[in-house]
Amino acid sequence: MLGGMSAEVVTRRPLKSRGTDWARRLSRLLLRAGLTPNVVSLLSIVFAALAAAAMLRAVAVQPSWPWWLAAAAGVQLRLLCNLMDGMLAVEGGLKSATGELFNEFPDRIGDMLIFVALGFAGGSEFSIHLGWAAACGAIATAYIRATGAYLTGHHDFRGPMAKPHRMAAVTAVCLGMCFFNRLPLPTWGLGIILTGIAVTCVRRIHFLAKTLNRS
């Protein structure tokens, strides 16, 4: 039955890391520090912006590897915030009326900052276009997911290029640039990400159509 599952079950991305001891300990530490899920969600924008700034700095100075390493760290800290805000809300009992709002919009801003910056770091007009296209594609995947949730009550997080996969690919590019700075890794990475985003959108739309036809 459409919409028959509870919101807590269907709106959370399935993450193995959520059940790890280190994640539980960190969430308890954040709880004791008085941080709320919405604040942690906003912090994800800060880390995404720092990652973007590090990418742009990396192409302007030598040696560039410390900046690429900082960019990779910023991307991963952004993902950590995405994990922690949900754990604080659910396991920590800090759900709020604005929780879903703060859960979604910082992600869209973070995607935009990271992909556009990576495009500019690619150093060519083509890579810049790829960066903007990847940013728009990331928004499209979220829009399809949100539309599906509205119509069926179920969030579809399938890939192959859902948010964790996109950020893993960006992290790999940043780490790769620490060692192979002269290769066009940002352009190649964005091309792979954009291809994966296209496949993800098609798969999510196909699954949504099948679900609606069965209802």
Instruction: Give the global pTM.
Output: 0.90
Find the mean pLDDT for residues 149-174. 94
Q: For residue range 108-136, list pLDDT tens digits in order.
A: 999 999 999 999 999 999 999 999 999 99
Domain 34-214: CATH superfamily is: CDP-alcohol phosphotransferase transmembrane (TM) domain (1.20.120.1760)
Find the mean pLDDT for residues 143-151. 93
Quickly tell me which residue has 């969430």 as its tokens. 27
CA distance 106 to 40: 10
CA distance 114 to 73: 12
134: tokens are: 């990847």
For residue 3, pLDDT over 90 is answered with: no
